[in-house]
Amino acid sequence: MSDTDLCYMGAAEAVALFKARKLSPVELMQAVIARAEAVEPKVNCFADTYYDEAMELARKAEARYARPGARLRPLEGVPVAIKDENRIKGKWTSSGSLTTPKVPDSYTSYSVERLMKAGGIVHARSTAPEFACAGITHSKLWGVSRNPWNTDFTTGGSSGGAGGSLAAGTTTLANGSDIWGSIRMPASCCGVLGFKPPYGRVPEDPPFNLDYYCHEGPMARSVADLRLMQNVMAGPHPLDITTVRPKLSIPAELKPIKGWKIAFSMDLGYFEVDPEVVRNTRALLDRLRDLGAEVEEVDLGWTEETLTAASNYLGHIFGNMIGGLLPRHREQMTNYARSFAEFGQRTTATDLLTSMEVLNDMYATLGPLLERYNAFICPTMPLPAVRADYDPGTDRCEINGREVHPVWGWTMTYPFNMMSRCPVMSVPSGFAGNGVPTGVQIVGRTYDDVSVFRVAADLERVQPLYGEEGARPKL
């Protein structure tokens, strides 16, 4: 097995080989680090790296596997990239900003702590845009992260370094956070999988745990790995009042979806959608039909009022949080962070209330629909990706010759942050002509995570989700 093959090996397979003594955590970590050293100059998906520390932990994991009767944890010896937004005690979290004091964290984020306690080895911090407030990944601090499939284009954001490192083979697993699509956008752009759990399923650090748009979740290259990671991260936490009981574990055996009814919308009623995204989405819907599902197009009746509601909500809470930096740090901030903060300061409490009213109107359509259908499908992004250096604070975006909103017009994810109790997974649907992957979102009934995993697993059986079988970026 080549080092490249090791770099694209799944976590579930690696753990099985570790237990059988056919592979060592040291061998896997060496291969992943070597791959990162070779391709990072091209993709720039890592902020900080901890290679020496990771190798020491890999040697300890190797010894644990060699010890008869040792208690082996679910992720024992598996490389995990952690987003440069989550805390790790004793390490610096920059949040991609020149304004962040270089002070070691005093605690580890709850979901990250679970990954580490499960034996995952943090070898790197994945890049994110400044304060994770954009759907692209570049910052004044870390520069531009580039899509491994075509480096002219973005990895997506805000968990862009996570998606890019999975696609590049520089990590085995990666975590992400999702407040308007920040797990699903990079999953789509980079041809990997990303799961936005329902609100309260995975613990979140305060005060973000109280923002129901905000979710922590797993990213991986297969359904099995996503399941493995999600089962580690999920469950009630004594310091997060929003976490739900009891813990839900995704089963290893996921039943087929033959006989299911699945709804879809190509544009959610108001998006411009690129023809290549439409083509790949229709091909994936045909695969669902081949699996025995009944697939029907539906009209949700949603309008651009959804865009206004979501942007006002996030601006009022998230934008105002960043806005406190403007008086002293305006010039240090990126255009997109400054623009978002300024927008937030113009929103009002009335805007916030109206956004909640719109949310209820939206669910008045989606909720009954999901009673009639087992799941709902739509594209993750209405275009494959924007340019790697695209600046949503200053640049324009066009789809089908029509100018769309520079922030909200090229992602179809944020409506399902509004529908926060619905689990949503982005899975690959194919490639565009420029080589960039495309993806679709699988939306489930509230807190019905297992059904979403069932759809994804059945698709994976007939069409490998990480692009075409054997396809890898040519870096």
Alpha carbons 64 and 70: distance in angstroms, whole number = 6
Residue 469, domain member (yes or no)? no
Alpha carbons 140 and 269: distance in angstroms, whole number = 36
Per-residue model confidence (pLDDT) at position 1: 79
Per-residue model confidence (pLDDT) at position 465: 59
Q: Is 378 in a helix, a strand, or coil?
A: strand
Looking at the chain, the number of H-run helices and the number of E-run strands are 16, 15
Residue 475, domain member (yes or no)? no
Alpha carbons 305 and 109: distance in angstroms, whole number = 35
Alpha carbons 333 and 221: distance in angstroms, whole number = 33
Beta bridge pairs of residue 81: 124, 174
Residue 196, domain member (yes or no)? yes
Residue 200, domain member (yes or no)? yes
Per-residue model confidence (pLDDT) at position 467: 47
Locate tokens 């943090």: which residue?
122
Per-residue model confidence (pLDDT) at position 466: 54
Active site residues: 83, 158, 182
Domain interval for residue 10:
3-462
Residue 31, domain member (yes or no)? yes
Q: Check which CATH number belongs to the domain holding 225 and give it.
A: 3.90.1300.10
Which residues does the chain have with pLDDT short of 70?
Answer: 465-470
Backbone angles phi, psi at 376, to 5 degrees: -130, 140
Alpha carbons 60 and 95: distance in angstroms, whole number = 30
Per-residue model confidence (pLDDT) at position 469: 52
Six token digits for residue 171: 């990590």
- Cα atoms in the Cβ-side hemisphere of radius 13 Å centred on 329: 17
Alpha carbons 462 and 293: distance in angstroms, whole number = 13
Six token digits for residue 145: 């992260």
Residue 212, domain member (yes or no)? yes
Per-residue model confidence (pLDDT) at position 153: 98
The DSSP call for residue 304 is T
pLDDT tens figures, 336-361: 999 999 999 999 999 999 999 999 99
- Within 10 A of 371 (CB to CB), how many other CB atoms are there? 8
Q: Which amino acid is at 386?
A: V
pLDDT tens figures, 216-239: 999 999 999 999 999 999 999 999
**Contact, 82 vs 175, CB < 8 A?**
yes
Residue 474, domain member (yes or no)? no
| Count of structural domains within the chain | 1
Residue 125, domain member (yes or no)? yes
